[in-house]
Amino acid sequence: MNWKKFYSREYGVQYTEIALKCISNKVNGMISQPVHRQFFTPENSNEAYYAELADWKQFEDTIIENHCKDTKSLEKFSKIFFKKGNEYLAVSKKLAKLKKINSNTVKDYLEYQKIAIEYATVLWIAHIGSEFFSKKTANILNEYMRKIPEKKVMQYSTELLRPAQKAKIIILQEELKKLKEKPSKQKLEELFEEYSWMSCLDIHNAPWSITEFSAFAENLKSSKITQPVSFDQIVKELKISKNDLKAIHLAKKLGYLKDARDDFRRQSIFFARKFFKLIADEMNLSLHEFSYLTQQEIVDFLKKKKVPNQYEIEQRMQGFLIFLKNKKTQVISGNKIVPTLKKIFKFQGISTSPIIQVKGLSACQGIVEGTAKIVKGVNDLHKVHEGDILIAVTTHPDYVSVMHKAKAIVTDEGGILCHAAIVSREMNKPCIVGTGQGTKVFKDGDLVQVDASQGIVKKVN
């Protein structure tokens, strides 16, 4: 089988199970071509998601055809997106009000799981649509950008590719920058109350404390202000055709939906954590340990008081293989992972030859040199200091403060409408996305050159 890695994250068992289930069945008519051959396996200190390439291609093609091919289908999907997002947030808020475990807890938990899986399906549709149109739009803009002076390219690209609406993280940054100009302890505390959920990537990721939030605010820097040029002015100057303009508008809408995914998901996890803590306390587990349980293990405890094996949980926390077999979740840990991968999936791992450079998409131009700092997850963010080159698997709201410190940003994943690309353009920092293996090729302390004009990152000397 032809396996391909699509992303890697620092998720526990509970969320990876949701990630598998959300595209393995025909979820409420949103997916007509499920992905059957897929798994997560430990890799590079994260959980890497692999799918069989032919399976994935069929899945991807039907998503584009059914939900993102034109304005009409995108508007229809947009309504589904917000409907499912609001349902997810509503059920999480309802569960947060519960004070103790009772006879309805199993029903409440399964209701949460159902909507979480449906919302995760919506996330995938937004992601795939955004990636599709980011590539299409990049090709379109390349032709137009050849007609203008190089100094205008990044300014025009930033405006043309700016998402149609602002996600919460952008709004928060703007509010905090205003606060720097006119400090107010009361306003800082109000913003903290409103946005403390933003660090809840998974149920084992705690909300921001006031100290962490203040540090995030302190690390934000003002971007260089260039003379603004409106979207309409640029369209008129470049004489962008009607068909190309339609594609750009679709990309901008999908860019916003891709960013807004985290607005719903992280807020929902923030509220759901209170409910999960009730169950975890009954099991005598921390929330971190609890996040490494399957849905069935949680149900078994709630119904039969069957407590999961503590040693197995500890093994999973070191890395786990998870997949679906006959619609049932299988989790393998320890020294059984490699033999299982070979036996069931005929997976031997991805072999690579030693290399000293990687190539990706240029999201914001510029050429700089600096010290590489490898960030595989939020626990690595403390390594990044002023003037370093941030090389990450991906970026999301938790990374913004260190993105301000970095001289340049490089990611394994993403396209020209991903979080790293959008934020780097706003910061006017060299950025290369979609390198595939930057976090593997380089190591902390390497002196690297980021040539975002060519999309190349390489070791120096």
**Same-domain status, 89 and 185:** no
Tens digit of pLDDT for each residue in 148-179? 888 888 888 888 988 999 989 889 988 998 89
Position 353 pLDDT exceeds 60 = no
In this structure, are 370 and 336 located in the same domain? no
Lookup: tokens for 190:
């109000």
Domain end residue (candidates: 290, 311, 345): 345
Classify residue 352: in a domain, yes or no.
no
Whether 125 and 265 share a structural domain = yes
> Are 220 and 182 members of one domain?
yes
pLDDT band at 102 (very low <50, low <70, confident <90, very high): very high
**Per the structure block, which two tokens stand in for 364?**
């914001």
Would you say residue 262 lies in a domain? yes
User: 251 lies in a domain?
Assistant: no
The answer to whether residues 166 and 59 belong to one domain is no
Indicate if the pLDDT at residue 26 is higher than 80: no
> Are residues 8 and 126 both part of a single domain?
yes
Q: Is the dihedral of CA 427, 380, 204, 208 positive or negative?
A: negative
Among 72-86, 211-225, 277-291, 422-436, the minimum mean pLDDT is found in 211-225
Q: Is 252 contained in some domain? A: no
CA angle 431, 426, 429 (to 5 degrees): 35
Residue 276's domain spans which residues?
3-131+258-345
Specify whether 175 is located in the same domain as 311. no
CATH assignment of the domain containing 417: 3.50.30.10
Is 249 part of a structural domain of the chain?
A: no
Residue 374 has pLDDT above 90, yes or no: yes
User: What pTM was estimated for this model as a whole?
Assistant: 0.87
Q: How does the average pLDDT of the chain come out, rounded?
A: 91
Does residue 279 fall inside a structural domain?
yes
Measured CA to CA, the distance from residue 153 to residue 42 in angstroms comes to 40
Residue among 393, 28, 63, 397 at smallest CA distance from 254? 63
Residue 243 domain-assigned (yes or no):
no
Which pLDDT value is given to residue 337? 96
386 shares a domain with 329: no
Do 142 and 188 reside in the same domain of the chain? yes
Number of domains present in the structure of the chain: 3
Tell me the pairing of strands 357-359 and 456-459. Answer: antiparallel
pLDDT in tens, 212-270: 999 888 887 766 555 678 999 999 999 999 999 998 999 899 889 988 888 999 999 99
Question: How many Cβ atoms from other residues are within 10 Å of residue 391's Cβ?
Answer: 31
Give the strand pairing for 320-325 and 328-333.
antiparallel
| pLDDT number for residue 219 | 80
| Per-residue pLDDT band at 387 (split at 50, 70, 90) | very high
Does 102 lie in the same domain as 30? yes
Inform me whether the pLDDT recorded for 28 exceeds 70.
no
Say if 245 falls within a structural domain. Answer: no
pLDDT at 277 over 80: yes
Span 302-321, pLDDT tens digits: 999 998 899 999 999 999 99
Q: Are residues 326 and 220 in the same domain?
A: no
Domain boundary among 318, 345, 372: 345
Q: Are residues 230 and 375 in the same domain?
A: no
Long-range contacts (CB closer than 8 Å, 24 or more residues apart) made by 341-350: 341/39, 341/41, 345/1, 345/3, 345/37, 345/39, 346/1, 347/1, 347/3, 347/41, 347/50, 350/3, 350/5
Q: Give the range among 38-42, 133-137, 222-226, 338-342 with minimum mean pLDDT.
A: 222-226
- pLDDT at residue 197 is higher than 90: yes
